[in-house]
Structure 1
Amino acid sequence: MSGPADQAGRVRRDALARLARRPMSRARLAAALIARWGDERAVSEVLDSLARAGLIDDRAFADEAIRQALAEAPAAEAYLVARLVGLGVDEALARQRAAAALANHDEDADARALARECLARAPESLPIEARLRRVAGRLARRGYDEETVRSALDGLSPG
């Protein structure tokens, strides 16, 4: 017969295995462990222990997720916050980390740079209106608001 210590050991091994495969937010890891083991108390105790050991750190996780997102392409704060929340990061922490990451960024300049890159990659065989719609869509998907998108498109000189 297995006791609470055995259950906590299994939960801990599972948590460590999941973290070894890829970094996870505390909330996402908790959801996965509860779904598998069903023991919320054991999961909470294990996660507290892992957090004390520095193996779960939502702030560091958020910063790394932001770094990866911005390495793909420029993005607005709204995009970064939504991405982090989708990964299980608390919304307040997501907003704080996204704002900190973009503190030295010029959103308009980033949007213009992304717009130029997208336009350069759009097939020349498409009419300019279609290429500009694609650019606008890409900017919107990266979280830029309508005014920023419009401004970035106005700054393009189709070639």
Structure 2
Amino acid sequence: MKRTIIATVNNTSGVMNRITGLFARRHFNIESITVGMTENPAISRMTFVINVDDERGLDQVIKQLYKQVDVLKVRDITDEAIVARELALIKIVAAPQNRGEISALVEPFRASIVDVGRESITLQVTGDQQKVEALIDLVKPYGIKELARTGITAFKRGTKKSVFDGPKYSIIN
């Protein structure tokens, strides 16, 4: 089963290496990992998407993470209300005569063209994993030259359910 785990850790040298080594030694496959500094420069947030066989394996992962000196907090947020996003850069084959068509095709995804070459364009898209996958599938027929994805980064939603629908913002109790 796929699980999303977040960990806050001390922002020190070698922490990511020790934690990914822990996953490797226990034969857990990391599907994606993102790491970045938080609002406190001394602390980093790590988001893992891992595949585990069962709840026992998940419990083992969490217990092993807590044994690491630099780990401050670990949480499985898979079944919680979360905000999760991924970034992808997609370089596709694009002759000048196809660029208008490609631009119109990616517009509903709110993707943007961030680079234009003689025979290619590079798209940037952010969103949930399904949105990113859908755009990749849509541009495959043009020919993908390069693809880079950040993996999921996530955190728990606030206590009230927030809905953002374009320019209007509302809070639902």
* Same-fold status (TM-score > 0.5): no
- Richer in strand (by share): 2
- Richer in helix (by share): 1
Query: Which structure: larger Rg?
Result: 1
Higher relative contact order, structure no. (Cα contacts within 8 Å, ≥ 6 residues apart): 2
